[in-house]
Amino acid sequence: MLLGSIFERFIAHSPISVMARGLLEHALLPAELDALFARTAQRQYTRDLLFSTTVDLMSLVVTGVRPTIHAGFQALKESIPVSVTSVYNKLDGIEPTLSAEMVRHTTRKLEPLIRQLGGQRPQLLPGYRVKILDGNHLAATEHRLKELRTSNAGPLPGLCLVVLDPSLMLAIDVFPCEDGHAQERSLLAAVADSVQAGDVWIDDRNFCTLGFLSAVAARQAFFVTRQHKNLPWEGLTPFVFAGKVEGADVWEQQIGLPHDADARPFCRRLKLVLDKPTRDGERELFVLTNLPAADADALCVAGLYRSRWTIEIMFRELSDLLENEIDTLAYPKAALFGFCTGLAAYNVMSAIKAALRSVHGAEKIDAELSGYYVADEIAGTYRGMMIAIPAEEWLVFGSLTMEEWSEVLRALASRVRLDKYRKHPRGVKKPRPKRQSHKSKPHVSTAKLLAERRSKRR
């Protein structure tokens, strides 16, 4: 292996932690981050505190290595030449466009590495690049600002639209907004500008607007979207039964959409008749697509729409495994920076999984690997590892070629004991019984209740 002997003890006991720290060094190389800041920042400037240092500090918090920004500052105090107040001022001024560009930067660094490893998941539609779009309103923060202290309402620091590549499992793009009350649709113009020919955009009905669908089609791209009830359309053919997928019967018809020009764009409209109603009680879903039927028949499109839940899984993992919504960061710019740093950390986790897939197989990793145990291992080992291995030893990861990276990651992945990180799915939850209230007994003795249970068994 290309790594020195100083890494051997941690490779033997926690190769995943070495992979995580090495990939962070590769994806968030300080010199590249500072150059990114110089190109992108419009108002902020560097005086004493580098952008790369703020990313390093925020990374400690979102990965759970340190519990708060202040605790992270204390840990890095020797390398931070300013006060903690100046650090917070820096965080409060980081522009959302810079935070978004940092996420795109990690994609540019990690995508070729994942492809070099051959660690992708199977493509949902060969010949096309599938992108899944969804929004996330950041959770309410603490009432730390003067303007918030007299209000009982939850302070919302912003929202982000996130684009996921389900084959790479990378958050490849993000569109942040400081207004927590803004509608997701208000950001669609920026999303439309990022559409490329050959894309397939999968999204929910919030994004089903005539303007966005037309913009996607105009760029020789494609959409698979749930129909919004306010979308204008005209039926051109009756429904024809197309077949059955898991949980639904599928019907299909041709429709036309309004357009400024004489030519009316055509697309297909699918009706999914569900075996079981949704949480909202709906038994029918309508999905629109302009994909050619020769490449994606109705059953294929229904399957593509079902894959939209992949991004919901990503958001759940961000919430459960990373601290990317930090409730003490009340200023919107700082909160959005924290969320985007979480997306960057998620991308690193995805690269780790890609390396494991390349050695142990995609089916085994996707079915059995627990992201919770992986994140717990990294957070628990990181502090001691950074003490035992000097910072200069990690610089080697910033200079490896793709071939050398593949060699290192495969060697580390082969040393991982997967049984340490195996999922333990729980069974079906039992319904919660109705609880009894006893005003005269606000507390009960657990020991007495257990004794009563044992006496009934005799």
User: Could you report the per-residue pLDDT of 52-83, keeping only the tens digit for each?
Assistant: 999 999 999 999 889 999 999 998 888 898 99
Cα-flanking dihedrals φ and ψ of residue 447, to 5°?
-60, -40
Q: Which residue has the higher pLDDT, 132 or 389?
A: 132
In a domain, 415, yes or no: yes
Longest dimension (CA), the chain: 84
Residues 359 and 281 reside in one and the same domain:
no
Task: Pick the closest to residue 328 from 48, 138, 103 (CA basis).
Answer: 138
Q: Is residue 22 in a domain? A: yes
Asked if residue 77 lies in contact with residue 61, where contact means CB atoms within 8 angstroms, the answer is no
Among the residue ranges 43-47, 96-100, 225-229, 283-287, the one predicted with the least confidence is 43-47
In sequence order, what are the beta bridge partners of 171?
164
Per DSSP, the three-state class of 199 is strand
3-state secondary structure of 77: helix
Confidence of residue 100 (pLDDT cuts 50, 70, 90): very high
Q: Go through 111-120 and write b for each residue having 16 or more CB atoms within 10 A of its CB, e for each that does not.
A: bebbebbebb
Cα angle: 69, vertex 70, 73; to 5 degrees: 90
- Provide, rounded to the nearest whole percent, the portion of the chain with pLDDT above 90: 64
- Secondary structure E strands in 246-283: 248-256, 266-274
What mean pLDDT is predicted for residues 268-289? 92
Query: CA angle, 51 as apex, 45 and 52 as ends, to 5°?
Result: 155
Is 2:22 a contact under the CB 8 Å cutoff?
no
Residue 403 lies in a domain: yes
Specify if 303 maps to a domain: no
pLDDT above 60 (res 178):
yes
Q: Is residue 381 part of a domain?
A: yes
In a domain, 271, yes or no: yes
Instruction: Kindly state whether residues 12 and 82 are assigned to the same domain.
Output: yes
State whether 275 and 328 are in the same domain.
Answer: no
The answer as to whether 26 is a domain residue is yes
Backbone angles phi, psi at 142, to 5 degrees: -70, 160
CA–CA dist 286, 225 (Å, integer): 9
H or E element: which one contains 243?
strand 240-245
**Is residue 272 located within the same domain as residue 353?**
no
Of 236, 262, 296, the position where a domain reaches its end is: 296
pLDDT in tens, 391-428: 888 888 888 889 999 999 999 999 999 999 998 877 67
The number of domains in the chain is 2
Most confident of 35-44, 146-155, 288-297: 288-297
CB-based contacts of 224, cutoff 8 Å, min separation 6 = 200, 201, 202, 203, 287, 288, 289, 291, 301, 304, 305
Among 257, 281, 296, identify where a domain stops: 296
Determine the structural domain holding residue 217 and report its residue range. Answer: 207-296
β-bridge pairing 129-137 and 199-203: parallel
* pLDDT of 261 strictly over 60: no
Model confidence, pTM: 0.91
- Of 222, 207, 192, the C-alpha closest to 124 is 222
Q: Is 237 contained in some domain? A: yes
